[in-house]
Amino acid sequence: MPPVWGPDADPAVADDPDDPETGSWDAAKPGTSWLRLAAVLAAVLVLVVGVVLAFNLGRGSGDAGTAGGASSSSPSGSSSRSASTPVAISGVTDFDPQGDPPEENPDLARFAADGKPSTAWRTSTYYDELAKLKDGVGLLVDLGKPTEVGKVRVDLLGTGTSLDVLAAPDARTAPSSTEGLKTVASTADADSRANLTLKKPVTTRWLVVWLTSLPSTPGGFQGRVAEISVSS
């Protein structure tokens, strides 16, 4: 219906707020837009809180997994297995089963395990190479009880010593000859320090540091052992 103008116009027809065709009903309701905005903001807030919680939970789970993984893959176990432990030496005596008499400066043998590199046990002076006279000469190391041995270190004076480490895993008494002894490590032409690692640890009470070749010295050949160290 066209608008009616003039004094006879019907006010209800000219401006009817209830007429659905005018589209003015919602606009006339106060607070409607604010309610919609508040609902949108509430939904956004819930979404943000959910994302933050999920992120924190995920990060906490990841940290726990990392900590657990580090613990399980820690090399401490392998380190403890590979780490060597010093073995106490109960006593050292000279060992010369092929000698006549069968001894080699017995009063000096204790110096090979006294913790002082400046002191040493020494062989007799041989005027010919040792191999032409006997199989070897050395020191008998007593560990006091059957003990697992994995490494032996021998500090020497002079260079060019060849030696074996012999073990007596089955012996019930101190060996008096090389018979029945087992060669567990060897080195040739050693410098001033021979570090010997056994291919397989052996459990024994007695070890023999067996010199098979001696360095040359003025007047012949002589071996000198400053210190022996044993570890598991």
The predicted structure's pLDDT at residue 84:
86
Q: In the 3-class helix/strand/coil scheme, how is 178-227 assigned residue by residue? A: CCCCEEEEEEEEECCEEEEEEEEEEEEEEEEEEEEECCEECCEECCEEEE
Question: Model confidence over 121-168: pLDDT tens digits?
Answer: 999 999 999 999 999 999 999 999 999 999 999 999 999 999 999 999
The arrangement of secondary structure in 86-231, i.e. its CATH architecture, is Sandwich (2.60)
Q: Output the CA–CA distances (angstroms, integers) from residue 101 to 96, 98, 104, 180, in the order listed.
A: 8, 8, 8, 22
How many helices (H) and strands (E) the chain has is answered by: 4, 10
Whether 187 shows a pLDDT value over 80: the answer reads: yes
Q: Output the CA–CA distances (angstroms, integers) from residue 4 to 7, 140, 220, in the order listed.
A: 9, 133, 144
The answer to pTM > 0.75 is no
Whether 89 shows a pLDDT value over 80: the answer reads: yes
Whether 19 shows a pLDDT value over 70: the answer reads: no
Single-letter residue type at 14: A
The predicted structure's pLDDT at residue 20:
42
Q: What are the residues whose beta carbons fall under 8 Å from the beta carbon of 162, sequence distance 6 or more?
A: 186, 187, 188, 189, 190, 211, 212, 213
What is d(CA 84, CA 232) in angstroms, rounded to the nearest whole number?
5
If you average pLDDT over residues 14-21, what whole number do you get? 43
Domain boundaries, the chain: 1-83, 86-231
The predicted structure's pLDDT at residue 60:
52
Confidence of residue 106 (pLDDT cuts 50, 70, 90): very high
Whether 208 shows a pLDDT value over 50: the answer reads: yes
The pair of three-digit structure tokens given for residue 36, joined into one six-digit string: 């919609």
What is d(CA 197, CA 98) in angstroms, rounded to the nearest whole number?
27
Residues 95 and 168: beta-carbon distance below 8 Å: no
